[in-house]
Amino acid sequence: MEQPVPRNRSRRCLYRSLAGTTALPGFPGLVLSYLTLISAFGRESIDIQFDESTADELFRQCTETIERAPIETMERIKEHLITANQQQIDLFFAALHKRLARIATRVLVIPLYGKLNEFTTIEDAVRFLDQHRVYEGSGEFRKYEVHVEFSNGDKVDASLDSKQRVKEFLEFVSRQ
């Protein structure tokens, strides 16, 4: 038997759906102002201004009204939201572009006693580190040299003395 969605949770889900929030690791989400949501829907005679005292039936009716709204109505609401939140939307897309324009394209992990190991992703480099063994006969281990190249031409280099520090460095770089 399906469990009912708790009242507060269903409202948070509705607001998140309406606001179009998103959150990616290391990346800010886009949150539209509650007041612009109320205004946009209000222009179409849909009152979405709720609080904890709002009756469940009223909330259900409003949800159904939104779900049944004609495409034209939802387009007008969308246009109002875009216009009212254009600055936040522009900042969001600028941050998105900046994030996507800087993707690691080449990752080098060089144990300074052994051979060069080249990877195309940070995840592949971390997998290498998980499997890499420092063993006798390979000479004295000194450190790891790490080189990361990005699609926008940026480069980051580091010299680190342990696998754990290399993994922490790569995790940090992947979030930038």
Say how far apart CA 36 and CA 27 lie, in whole Å. Answer: 23
Q: Taking residues 14-26, what's their average pLDDT?
A: 50
pLDDT at 26 over 70: no
pTM over 0.95: no
pLDDT at 116 over 70: yes
Looking at residue 156, what DSSP letter applies?
A: E
Q: What is the pLDDT of residues 35-90, one digit of tens each?
A: 999 999 999 999 998 888 888 899 899 999 999 999 999 999 999 999 999 998 89
Average pLDDT score over the chain: 81
Looking at residue 4, what DSSP letter applies?
A: P
User: What are 134-138's contacts with CB under 8 Å, separation 24+?
Assistant: 138/113, 138/114
Q: What is the pLDDT of residues 77-112, one digit of tens each?
A: 999 999 999 998 898 888 877 777 778 889 999 888
pLDDT at 6 over 80: no
Return the domain boundaries, the chain.
7-100, 104-175
